Amino acid sequence: MTVYKLVTRNTIEENILKLQESKRLLAEQIVTEGTLSFASLTREDIMNMV
C-alpha cells in the first residue's frame, strides 16, 4: 500500500509541516549528534522550539 500526503502551498498546514521538520532537525542535532551547543542557539531557535 502506498500513501501520498498532499499539501497545498501557502497554507497553515504547510507552515505547520515546515515547523515540525525544523524542530525535528534541531532536536536531532542537539540530542543524537551532539554537534550543536546550547550557546549557539539564537533567540529565534529557542522560540521555535516552544
Residues with Cβ < 8 Å from 13, sequence gap 6 or more?
7
What pLDDT is attached to residue 34? Answer: 62
What pLDDT is attached to residue 9? Answer: 93
**Angstrom distance (rounded) from CA 28 to CA 13:** 22
Flag whether 7 is in a domain. no
- Give the three cell numbers for residue 48: 521555535
Flag whether 17 is in a domain. yes
Flag whether 6 is in a domain. no
Flag whether 36 is in a domain. yes
**What are the φ and ψ backbone dihedral angles of 15, each rounded to 5 degrees?**
-65, -40
Flag whether 2 is in a domain. no
Residue 40 belongs to what domain range?
A: 12-49
**Number of structural domains found in the chain:** 1
For 8-24, how does the pLDDT look when each residue is reduced to its tens digit (9 = 90+)? 999 999 999 998 998 88
Flag whether 20 is in a domain. yes
Q: What confidence category does residue 44 fall into, taking pLDDT thresholds of 50, 70 and 90? A: confident
Q: What is the pTM of this model?
A: 0.58
